[in-house]
Structures are given as C-alpha cells and as structure tokens.
Amino acid sequence: MTTYKVLVVDDDTNISTLLRLYLEKEGFEVFTADDGEEALSVFEKAQPDLILLDIMLPKLDGWQVCREIRKTSQCPIIMITAKSETFDKVLGLELGADDYIVKPFENKEVVARVRAVLRRTSTGESSQIKEVKFDNLVINLTNYELKVKGELISTPPKELELLYHLASNPNQMFSRDQLLDEVWGFDYCGESRTIDVHIKRIREKIDGASDKWELRTVWARGYKFVTFE
C-alpha cells in the first residue's frame, strides 16, 4: 500500500497538531509548517503528495504560497479558509487549488477530501499517455505541455486541464457548472466566473492557430471545442 505524504500548513498549532494526529492515524506521513516561508522550505525538502494550505499565514499568505508552488509543481493543494466569501473560492481556483475546505471542519471531512483529491490526481493509476492532437495544436496532459503551431506555450495547470477536457470531447457543449465539477472535481457553490477567466486566457494562447477548430462560446449556456470537417 502506498504511503502518501501530506504537508499541513497552518499557524494555529492546535489545528495542525490535530490534523497531523488524525492523518497519521489514517496512514499518512505528515509534515507541518506554521508560516508561508517555512511551508515553501518544507515543500522543497519533503516533496509531499498533497498540501493542506491555510490562507491566513504569517510572512507569506496561502495565496502567495500557492502561486510559488504552481510555478514548478502540480502537487495537489487543498486550501483551508475561515472565510466563506465567493471571492476566496474563485481566487483559489484561479491560482490552481484543487479543492477547498471552510473552517470549522470535521477531521473525517478533511481525510475524505484528501483521499478524493489523491485519487483524482494520481498519475500512477495508468501508464496511458493523455494527449489530444488537432491541426497546429497538441495538448499533452501527461507532461502538462501545450504546443501551438509547434511552439511550446507556458500554460498553468488548470488552463491546460480545462482545454484538454473540452478538446477531448469535441463538439460537446459544457455548462460552466459542469466544467467546474468535471475539471476541478467537486461541486462548486458560488459564481462560476472563474471559467470565463480561464477561457479568456486560453484563447489568448490558441486563437487563430487553425481554421479547422475553434473554442466557441455557446451564449448563455457554456463552451465547446468545435471541429470542422
């Protein structure tokens, strides 16, 4: 059985200690950090399989930590927040968070979320290369690479996953709520403008590359990747 490593980042020692004890009881190897700078240092040394990341942290807040990690890694991140404002949830999704938990929470809920995200993001489940190709476009989810007209384009993980999902199902329309559920992998309560932001950024990278396909907006409904015969 695989022993997964989890990094718990929270400046409340009571919370981090309880999470550590509960996760260790469930078979996880746990590392802790109580500020943003320490979180980045422990992340580099421990190379965890998942991070539980509080937003309100000393030195560097959770948003800054998430940004820094996403520059080099697709390690799953579950944001922990004491706030319930939609803004927090949207920003977390845009920065590449995989899930979020709102305080107060039950330890069993945390473990369930951790296991669900690890199942979803595990790369060891299949050796199959996840790649779709169209004229002047290659989307490789195995290596997280986007090529447009043969040129490698730097693309954040969630943008690539969103484009891959649409392009893997050509000519099928997806609502914003469907995309949040199927790409981010959980039911999202709140406004879905994060999808529009991601689509806009994707279009800046791929629009005009070919006349054989396009990323199309279905007015008042959602989006689809359209191919032309």
Could you tell me if 9 and 57 are in contact, meaning their C-beta atoms sit under 8 angstroms apart? yes
- In terms of domains, do 140 and 205 share one? yes
Q: Are strands 137-140 and 151-153 parallel, antiparallel or unpaired?
A: unpaired
pLDDT given for residue 191 in this prediction:
53
Q: Are residues 149 and 212 in the same domain?
A: yes
Q: Are residues 35 and 104 in the same domain?
A: yes
**Residue 200, SS3 per DSSP:** helix
For residue 144, the model assigns a pLDDT of 83
pLDDT at residue number 3 = 82
User: Is the domain of 50 the same as that of 139?
Assistant: no
- The whole-number pLDDT of residue 126 equals 46
User: How many domains does the chain divide into?
Assistant: 2
Q: What is the pLDDT of residue 125?
A: 45
* Residues with Cβ within 8 Å of residue 199, at least 6 apart in sequence: 162, 215, 217, 223
Same-domain check for residues 21 and 117: yes
Residues 63 and 165 in one domain: no
Length of the chain as a residue count = 229
Of the candidates 225, 169, 220, 168, the one whose C-alpha atom is nearest the C-alpha of residue 202 is 225
* Tens place of pLDDT per residue across the chain (229 aa): 568 999 999 999 999 999 999 999 989 999 999 999 999 999 999 999 999 999 989 999 999 999 999 888 889 999 988 765 555 667 777 777 888 888 888 888 888 889 888 877 765 444 467 889 999 999 998 888 899 999 999 888 888 989 999 999 999 999 988 888 788 765 454 456 788 989 999 999 999 999 999 999 999 899 999 998 6
CATH number of the domain enclosing 96: 3.40.50.2300
Question: 84, 101, 121: which is the final residue of a domain?
Answer: 121
Q: Which long-range contacts (CB under 8 A, 24 or more apart) does 216-221 make?
A: 218/173, 221/173, 221/175
Q: pTM of whole model > 0.75? A: no
Same domain, 103 and 32: yes
Per the structure, the complete domain to which residue 190 belongs is given by 131-227
Phi and psi, residue 216, nearest 5°: -110, 140
Question: How confident is the model at residue 127, as a pLDDT?
Answer: 47
- Taking CA 13 as the corner, what is the angle to CA 67 and CA 8, rounded to the nearest 5 degrees? 40
